[in-house]
Amino acid sequence: MITLYSYPGLFRLEDNNPYGLKVFAFLRISGLAFEQRHVMDASAAPRGQLPYLIDDGETIGDSDAIVAYLTLKHVLTLDDLTREERDIDLFVRRTLDDLYWAMSYSRWRDDRYWPRFRDALLHAHAGIDAAALDAARRYNFKR
Of 47, 53, 57, 44, nearest to 23 (Cα)? 53
Structural domain count, the chain:
2
Domain stop point among 78, 112, 130: 78
Cβ–Cβ under 8 Å, residues 53 and 23: yes
pLDDT score recorded for residue 18: 86
Domain stop point among 78, 101, 130: 78
Q: What does pTM read for this prediction? A: 0.76
Cβ–Cβ under 8 Å, residues 67 and 33: no
Domain encompassing residue 133: 80-143
- Collapsing DSSP to helix, strand or coil, 28 comes out as helix
**Same domain for 21 and 66:** yes
What are the tens digits of pLDDT across the range 1-45?
899 999 888 888 888 888 899 999 999 999 999 999 998 888 888
pLDDT score recorded for residue 49: 87
**C-alpha angle 65-37-119 in degrees, rounded to nearest 5:** 105
